[in-house]
Chains A and B, each alone.
Chain A
Amino acid sequence: MTLLHNEAPTTVDPVIVVEGLTKTYAGGFQALKPIDLSIRRGEIFALLGPNGAGKTTLISIICGIVNPGDGSITVDGHDVVRDFRATRARIGLVPQELTTDAFETVWNTVSFSRGLFGLPPKPAHIEQVLRDLSLWEKRNHRIMTLSGGMKRRVMIAKALSHEPSVLFLDEPTAGVDVELRRDMWNLVRRLRDSGVTIILTTHYIEEAEDMADRVGVINKGELILVEQTATLMHKLGKKELTLHLHEPLAAIPPALSRYPLALSTDGTDLTYTYDTQAEHTGITALLGDLAAAGIRFRDISTRQNSLEEIFVDLVRSR
């Protein structure tokens, strides 16, 4: 939460503002501890967290599927409880589960969604959505005859039927093949370019890394941090420097014991982990000491931590 407040809120135009939101289910399970979160207009925001962390609960409350506990949520300045018509009309939701009307045709179910959201029919828009999702050929097919990936596309089409300005994608790529995943991210980029704000949850952290402008990490109902993806990578990204040695070492020489070094089992690789944000990375000193100890190396490689590793570290440290 403290990280959130480090960002200048005056310079951003928030579309969703969550303040002090809690949720305790009837069984007594506290799904959300007080959550403060502000989603910026036009951004792609990735919500990461392990299973059961509260991602879906948070999304479901914003969308109106689960009743909120304490706190408040506004979408475009409208309260999601008091002014639910205004907020829900702006939001499209693709839930995690594949739940579709088996007996309806693709065209009818997508048209149904548009009507449900209070808009007059607009076949041209439905056609465009179906074409964008490669569903046009299947428009007169019953949903039960479609493959799982196609059903997922239908659910996205339903969420886009009423031209929402905010789109929630809950685990959109879970169990989806490579082609659909690529199509989906292309679509998400196009939507973002047209001004749609996108909030997604994913287990594929590399996707968040590629796609998201900002990342929020949620664990056990608590929002651990919210950060620009690049800043987060930079800030929490540890780097590893690996030295490939000329001659294998049996053990790390005592002269180098003050460095956090790891020796590979065959003794040929020496790995040094350092923090790119630290005042001194210690690399110069390390290399000097290595030379003084008479250790020669034939190659050097460095590697940046992925968001996944950052994420695992964050969640474990709690």
Chain B
Amino acid sequence: MNWYAIAAIYKFEMARTRRTLMQSIASPVLSTSLYFVVFGSAIGSRITSVEGVSYGAFIIPGLIMLSLLMQSVSNASFGIYFPKFTGTIYEIHSAPVSFVEIVAGYVGAAATKSVIVGLIILATARLFVDYHIAHPLLMVAFLLLTAITFSLFGFIIGIWADNFEKLQVIPLLVITPLTFLGGSFYSIHMLPPLWQKVTLLNPVVYLVSGFRWSFYDLADVGVDASLAAIAGFLVACLIAIGWIFRTGYKLKS
């Protein structure tokens, strides 16, 4: 294992984050604050509580999940897309590294960044509403697993994309709708019975539900189902990345 290479890629990517601090950290914090103002205070004041939790507190896990998914996908996809775009990827290919080190470096940095954003949002939320975390360790585990899994997914998108438009298309057209419809702002029990069934096809439901459970002991689906969903998606992404590097898909001719 080439540990120095992992460290080099990780450091390089984190330096990119520091250079773009406003865009990396400030903008997700600002947009989440807006959600709190609009949904938590303005609209939420009309909704007394959801299953015993104040609406403002109820949406915190969903909002963190929303940012976590978007950040993970965009960080990781941009991280690997950019060297492909500029051509500097030649150096990665010519280096004594296997895909394990490349993925560890890029995905590790992307996941770190989105976890930092998630924690900052959690801290920001404290300014607006009071909340408690019932299972802190599991909360962190959900946070890490989701960040890593969706960074892997973003990495795949970054390799697949051959222009900037493709880079944006999946986050905008897939991740955002799935997250909004995934129970970030509501409990799926509020839906009509048919839609309660349909919504179970949305993988984000499991992520939000599990994450919310770690806060309030309150879940739309079982925690084991949530963990299984993340694990399943993680394995699927790892298999896809293994295949990409074995075949050189979109990386090597």
Contact = CB atoms under 8 A, between A and B. Distances in A.
B90 A65 contact: yes
Given A99-B87, A102-B86, A115-B5, A93 B94 contact: yes
B19 A103 contact: yes
A168 to B, nearest CB: 9
A111 B15 CA distance: 13
A84 B99 CA distance: 12
B7 A115 contact: yes
A291 interface: no
Nearest to B248: A67
Interface residues of B, number: 26
A67 B5 contact: no
Contacts of B4: 114-120
A158 B95 CA distance: 12
B16 A66 contact: no
A88 B87 contact: no
Contacts of A101: 12, 86, 88
Contact of A116 (B15, B92, B252): B92
Contacts of B27: none
B93 interface: yes
Contacts of A99: 86-88, 90
A220 B190 CA distance: 69
A65 B252 contact: yes
A115 B13 CA distance: 14
Interface in B24-83: none
A64 B253 CA distance: 11
B165 interface: no
A95 B90 contact: yes
A276 B126 CA distance: 90
Contact of B94 (A67, A88, A104): A88
A34 to B, nearest CB: 19
A66 B252 CA distance: 6
Contact of A64 (B16, B87, B93): B93
Contacts of B248: 67
Interface in A78-112: 84-89, 91, 93, 95, 97, 99-104, 108, 111-112
A112 B253 contact: no
A85 B94 contact: no
A100 B253 contact: no
Nearest to B247: A67
Contacts of B97: 85, 116, 118
A85 B253 contact: no
Contact of B8 (A64, A88, A100, A112): A112
Q: Is the interface of B mostly helix, strand, loop or mixed?
A: helix
A67 B252 CA distance: 7
B23 interface: no
B94 A91 contact: yes
B224 interface: no
Interface string A113-134: 1111111100000000000000
B91 interface: yes
Nearest to A92: B94
Contacts of B94: 63-65, 88, 91, 93
Contacts of A251: none
B192 interface: no
Contacts of A25: 253
Interface in B89-112: 90-98
A113 B86 contact: no
Contacts of A112: 8, 11-12
Contacts of B88: 99-101
A84 B248 CA distance: 15
A160 to B, nearest CB: 13
Nearest to B8: A115
Contacts of B91: 93, 113, 116, 158
Contacts of A64: 93-94
B205 interface: no
A84 B100 CA distance: 14
A97 B87 contact: yes
A99 to B, nearest CB: 3
Contacts of A118: 2, 4-5, 95-97
B9 interface: yes
A101 B92 CA distance: 13
Nearest to A98: B87
B81 to A, nearest CB: 14
A26 interface: yes
Given A67-B253, A116-B5, A117-B5, A108 B96 contact: no
Interface of B: 2, 4-5, 7-9, 11-12, 15-16, 19, 86-88, 90-98, 248, 252-253
Given A99-B90, A116-B92, A120-B4, 4 more contacts: A66-B253, A93-B91, A113-B8, A116-B9
Task: Please provide the 4 A-B residue pairs with the shortest distance between their CB atoms, ordered closest to farther.
Answer: A115-B8, A99-B87, A85-B96, A88-B96
25 contacts: A63-B94, A65-B94, A66-B253, A67-B248, A67-B252, A67-B253, A85-B97, A93-B90, A93-B91, A95-B90, A97-B87, A99-B86, A99-B88, A100-B88, A101-B88, A104-B15, A108-B15, A113-B8, A115-B7, A115-B8, A116-B8, A116-B92, A116-B97, A117-B5, A158-B91
